[in-house]
Chains A and B, each alone.
Chain A
């Protein structure tokens, strides 16, 4: 069904806050099967140039899902059909490191909305940008998700 999704541009979610814990980083790396020792062994992290263990490249999903509106809440608030929604694209820009003890505050905004017609039907495309700041006010990470709703 065709609907006006451009009305969501500028819609904001958050801010929400998540405290990064050593155990959560380890749990996340193990779930992926990522055996890079820098995520579990502080000495290895220090050898790799960090002051403490860093987070894996996709860790922001933990901050989003545990700290903020989860996928269901986003879908509901954007009035999307859960059964027709796909995660189309994901991008991260890494500006500074994230370590255990950091308190990350995230703010999400709908920055783009497009309707596309393809051979197999139409798609609503929403781009959500999330900016992650640490407790010192530094923006450490920017995430961009493209959410696809088929119709």
Chain B
């Protein structure tokens, strides 16, 4: 909790690097989330849909971003989280989640930090971009 007080506008949040996405992970995420769209798990269906191979659930990549946010700030302080999906992710790709503090804001009387978050693959292709707000209490030194 302590490091929070050092954040300021423009600060980069330390990127987290995920393990490469695997077919097994997509099966596992399908079961956990209940999203059984076969374009995420069945290669032949993905091929019929013209995708070549299965694609990751967008919500899995948002989940990676959520994981990163909760390494940067306490889960308890997360107030809002929004992403726009930009590109499909396939097995074998390695996702890196990065973030940046944008500014201090106040919402409903609560001081917050507004931050950006983005997920890209190992080649820098953006998979999603978004923003989030966390409660931010200035602490006495």
Q: Does B69 contact A (CB under 8 A)?
A: yes
B interface size (C-beta, 8 A): 35
Q: Does A91 contact B (CB under 8 A)?
A: yes
Partner of B83, one of A38, A71, A89: A89
Q: Does A61 contact B (CB under 8 A)?
A: yes
Also in contact, A31 and B31, with CB within 8 A (given A89-B85, A91-B80, A92-B81): yes
Also in contact, A94 and B70, with CB within 8 A (given A31-B31, A62-B33): no
- Nearest A residue to B58 by beta-carbon distance? A87
Q: Does B140 contact A (CB under 8 A)?
A: no
From residue A95, how far is it (CB to closest CB) to chain B in Å? Answer: 8
Bound Cα distance A70, B37 (Å): 10
Chain A contact residues: over half helix, strand or loop, or mixed?
Answer: mixed
A interface size (C-beta, 8 A): 37
Bound Cα distance A58, B71 (Å): 15
Chain B contacts for A70, CB-based, 8 A: 34-36
- The total of Cβ contacts below 8 Å across the A-B interface reads 110
Chain A contacts for B35, CB-based, 8 A: 61, 65, 70-71
Bound Cα distance A24, B32 (Å): 7
Asked if B34 and A36 make an inter-chain contact with CB atoms under 8 angstroms apart, the answer reads no
Bound Cα distance A72, B62 (Å): 20
Partner of A92, one of B31, B49, B60, B82: B82
Asked if A94 and B59 make an inter-chain contact with CB atoms under 8 angstroms apart, the answer reads no
Chain B contacts for A138, CB-based, 8 A: none
Q: Per-residue 0/1 for B27-58: is the Cβ within 8 Å of any A Cβ (1 yes, 0 no)?
A: 01101111111000000000001000000001
From residue B131, how far is it (CB to closest CB) to chain A in Å? Answer: 9
Bound Cα distance A35, B84 (Å): 24
| Further 14 A-B residue pairs, CB within 8 A, beyond A24-B32, A34-B66, A70-B34 | A28-B33, A30-B28, A31-B60, A33-B67, A36-B71, A54-B76, A57-B66, A62-B32, A89-B83, A89-B85, A90-B82, A90-B83, A92-B82, A94-B81
Residues of B within 8 A of A (CB): 18-19, 25, 28-29, 31-37, 49, 58-60, 62-64, 66-67, 69-71, 74-76, 78-85
Residues of A within 8 A of B (CB): 24, 27-28, 30-34, 36, 38, 48-50, 54, 56-58, 61-62, 64-66, 70-72, 83, 86-94, 97, 144
